[in-house]
Structure 1
Amino acid sequence: MTVLAVIPARGGSKGVPAKNLAPVGGVPLVVRAVRAALAARHVTDVVVSTDDAAIADAARGAGAEVVLRPAAIAGDTATSEAAVLHAMDAYEAMRGAVAEVVLLVQATSPFLTAGDLDGVVTAVTEDGADTALTVAPAHGFLWRETGGAEAADGIGVNHDKANRPRRQDREQEYLETGAAYAMRADGFRTARHRFFGRTALVRTDAGRVLEIDDPHDLARARALAPLVDPPTLPARADIDAVVLDFDGTQTDDKVLIDADGREIVAVHRGDGLGIAALRRSGLKLLTLSTERNPVVAARARKLDMPVLHGIDRKDLALKQWCDEEGIAPDRVLYVGNDVNDLPCFDVAGWPVAVADAHGSVRSAARAVTTTAGGEGAIREIAAWLLGPTLRTTTGPAPTTGPAPTTGPAPTTDSTLSTPTPNI
């Protein structure tokens, strides 16, 4: 049976500009939806309907087909049904095949799962429903005002305000999640709306219900992502390059200053071993730092990795470096710890935060280390990519050294107290 998932994702959102490309858990919303649809066992084809070139590129990169939506059905008043009907026509013209079941999948529901999609499909294909939608149990008392602004009177919608029964004594009600809908394709073409015939309610976890309509919703989604998303770590096959911030990522973000104004920072030998292993694996490496201190270049030279430092717009530098190296940004793992790393998180396919990163950075990351910056976090990331033999459990104490604030960078690595090579 052909089951077509259609993800409407126009580019003209007003409440949250470029909403469908906004990252949650380090992954753009449209890409999250595509991945959920591709992971669903019963979905055979995934199409993103969009009028935006950047959304189209992201969707194709995630593995979906793209249908370019005409302007007539891409405005603020356009319905999702219109986008789905147009996508069905385009799909059937491209494939020469007719979808038997069509799904409407909303990218603005970031915690939608493959299981949710399989649930609504099964309700239609196996349980005899004509349409199905995801719902969550709801227990709230709803109110409505009547009588106008000056004499408004609150009345109960789903209850009598004079009689408020206990939850266990009330008939169960369900909230439409807005995430996933399944329809028999022929019935949908006839009815031209998503509810016709017998409608099945497919229950989902209320803790995952969130629709992004304004910036506050997006902020909540980003805060919830580390708690709701299943843990995912990158593998070597996912990555072509590793780009590292310096302060707070390769160091513990502390600086000691002597009486002459010279700065001393701390690094971790285990991180050096991890970086050496990453280099031997064939990955491209780069240190990218806003810091202008020569210690950054000295440490990078010690590790035999290129460095760009004294960079104000790290995101632009990262894009240019990817272009020069011929690396797709979505195959870059970028490690950071503070808010000036967030623009790079929007560029890299694998934004990673160290354990003690700023809260906004942890929320925007696709993965978070269990180890703090400067205490072996980079070695932990190397273990994700290359295997558990590099796992950080215990290790030697960090090493320190002076960092001159003026003059050329030293010819030996001043960040280490001993000349141990390449760590």
Structure 2
Amino acid sequence: MRAPRTVLAVIPARGGSKGVPGKNLAPVGGVPLVARAVRACLGARRVTHVAVSTDDPDIAAVAAGAGAEVVHRPDGLAGDTATSEAAVLHALDAHASRHGRPADVVLLVQCTSPFLTSGDLDGVTAEILDNGADTALTVAPSHGFLWRREPPAHPGAAPDARGVNHDKAHRPRRQDRHPEYLETGAAYAMDAAGLRTHGHRFFGRTALVPTDPARVLEIDDPHDLARARALAPLLDPVDTPTRADVDAVVLDFDGTQTDDRVLVDSDGRELVAVHRGDGLGVAALRRAGLHLLILSTEKNPVVAARARKLHVPVLHGIDRKDAALKHWCEEYGVDPQRVLYAGNDVNDLPCLGLVGWPVAVADAHAAVRAAARAVTTARGGAGAVREIAAWLLGPGLDPTAHPPLPATRPRSPQGK
């Protein structure tokens, strides 16, 4: 019986980027670009192996954490002049050495296309495995009219423009034109032996696999990254964690457990409003055995009072919340990738970038929502924490079923 054909997806991800520094680790929808690409590949039914080719140890760590094999790219293939094909061929060799057999089909997957889907990858793979194509690529259908500026006919003449894919004197109706296709730059599939022979990604018969034009975006500069982050809440599937995904929940206070308003009386005492449902949600999380922490920049008696009421440890008056969070994770042996951090404002961004489950409340700052992997439907102080508890424990949780567990008190970030 013939062995199943091996399909290797290769994600090239160099550490250097001039247009967007650290681009391949930039989060979109709360997930680094390289991890998004790995997830799309792992979700494809026809892909059997996923490898990230990189020269950067931080990218390697994120790729391995997302479930990919890591191919350490030599310096000679990591410069600006190195081609993607060279990285793919190197990864093919590494795969054959590691697994004892060559891949039959190889995919080149660009993590700078954040909205690539597993279906797109299965589509290009099927063209090779099932339909006999030698190469395949994702494309976006277009009926657009393209124009080109022509050089002046003679010195002093004004430049003219002509249609590239149409005659400007006889423009056909849209419905009378055959669609043309834009290369998305997201995914390419190749017969592996053919790639070795020809050395480039287009040889033999090439198949086009149309994808949704709304999802086509390549990140080449900071404006592209900003657009991707704005689109992620609209294009990404709803992704909320369960108890199996999370070991710890860390909560900002102002604007997350409150509505971000403060009432000040004539003696200067501050009052805030909290949500009873949030308290019930916290009790359920404690009963479920999760590590809990309130982490706040403000050093305010009201924060400490709320923490005592909830029987939850608190670190407040913290300038570097991310440093405090990292220290706390080390102290309790919690993997940051299994931490859910919920926040609402820009001072929460470093913490959101540190954890595996960055969460924003519904009325959070736009930059926080863009960096989040999940966004609550409830506003801060209006049940957002209760909603998070329902994600983790199920909508039917009963926070009053058992008494709360005793709280443990962490040491300060300085260990004092």
Q: Residues 303-362 of structure 1: CA distance to partner in whole angstroms, max 9, x if unpaired?
A: 111111111121121112111111111111000111111111110110111111112211
The partner residue of 1:307 within 308, 314, 320 is: 314
Mapped pair 1:285 → 2:289? no
Mapped pair 1:187 → 2:194? yes
Residue identity in the other structure for 1:363? A
User: Which whole-Å CA distance do the structure 2 matches of 1:303 and 1:248 have between them?
Assistant: 17
Mapped pair 1:258 → 2:265? yes
Equivalent residue for 1:174? 181
Equivalent residue for 2:411? none
Q: Residues 103-140 of structure 1: CA distance to partner in whole angstroms, max 9, x if unpaired?
A: 00110010011100000000110011111001111122
Residue identity in the other structure for 1:182? A
Counterpart contact for 2:284–2:398, Cα < 8 Å: no
- Secondary structure at the counterpart of residue 83 of structure 1: helix
TM-score, normalised with respect to structure 2: 0.92
Residue identity in the other structure for 2:139? V
Q: Residues 270-323 of structure 1: CA distance to partner in whole angstroms, max 9, x if unpaired?
A: 111111111111111111111121211111121111111111121121112111
Aligned positions, number: 392
Equivalent residue for 1:163? 170
The offset of 1:145, in angstroms, is 2.2
The offset of 1:68, in angstroms, is 0.5
Equivalent residue for 2:391? 384
Q: How does 1:103-118 map to 2 (within 5 A)?
A: 103-118=107-122
The offset of 1:152, in angstroms, is 3.6
Counterpart contact for 1:380–1:391, Cα < 8 Å: no
Q: How does 1:2-401 map to 2 (within 5 A)?
A: 2-147=6-151, 151-390=158-397
The offset of 1:162, in angstroms, is 2.4
Counterpart contact for 1:270–1:376, Cα < 8 Å: yes
Counterpart contact for 1:133–1:201, Cα < 8 Å: yes
The offset of 1:212, in angstroms, is 0.5
User: Which whole-Å CA distance do the structure 1 matches of 2:324 and 2:148 have between them?
Assistant: 54
User: Which whole-Å CA distance do the structure 2 matches of 1:147 and 1:32 have between them?
Assistant: 44
Counterpart contact for 1:10–1:50, Cα < 8 Å: yes
Residue identity in the other structure for 1:321? W
User: Which whole-Å CA distance do the structure 2 matches of 1:142 and 1:326 have between them?
Assistant: 58
The offset of 1:155, in angstroms, is 2.3
The offset of 1:236, in angstroms, is 0.4
Flag structure 2 segments of 5+ consecutive residues without an equivalent: 400-416
Counterpart contact for 1:120–1:133, Cα < 8 Å: yes
The offset of 1:204, in angstroms, is 0.8
The offset of 1:163, in angstroms, is 2.6
- Secondary structure at the counterpart of residue 180 of structure 1: strand
Flag structure 1 segments of 5+ consecutive residues without an equivalent: 393-423
- Cα RMSD between the aligned structures? 1.4
- Secondary structure at the counterpart of residue 119 of structure 1: helix
User: Which whole-Å CA distance do the structure 1 matches of 2:176 and 2:79 have between them?
Assistant: 45
User: Which whole-Å CA distance do the structure 2 matches of 1:302 and 1:206 have between them?
Assistant: 51
Residue identity in the other structure for 1:243? V
User: Which whole-Å CA distance do the structure 2 matches of 1:391 and 1:279 have between them?
Assistant: 12
User: Which whole-Å CA distance do the structure 1 matches of 2:287 and 2:335 have between them?
Assistant: 20
Q: Residues 36-59 of structure 1: CA distance to partner in whole angstroms, max 9, x if unpaired?
A: 101100000000000000000000
- Secondary structure at the counterpart of residue 237 of structure 2: coil
Residue identity in the other structure for 2:133? A
Residue identity in the other structure for 2:179? Q
- Secondary structure at the counterpart of residue 388 of structure 1: coil
- Secondary structure at the counterpart of residue 318 of structure 2: coil
User: Which whole-Å CA distance do the structure 1 matches of 2:161 and 2:354 have between them?
Assistant: 49
- Secondary structure at the counterpart of residue 47 of structure 2: coil
Residue identity in the other structure for 1:335? A
Aligned residues: percent identity?
Answer: 76
Please, which moves more after superposition, 60-69 or 360-369?
A: 360-369
Change (3 A) 1:370 1:391: farther
- Secondary structure at the counterpart of residue 188 of structure 1: helix
Residue identity in the other structure for 1:325? Y
- Secondary structure at the counterpart of residue 239 of structure 2: coil
Equivalent residue for 1:407? none
User: Which whole-Å CA distance do the structure 2 matches of 1:174 and 1:139 have between them?
Assistant: 8
- Secondary structure at the counterpart of residue 267 of structure 1: coil
User: Which whole-Å CA distance do the structure 1 matches of 2:203 and 2:83 have between them?
Assistant: 17
Equivalent residue for 2:413? none
Equivalent residue for 2:410? none
The offset of 1:391, in angstroms, is 9.2
The offset of 1:8, in angstroms, is 0.3
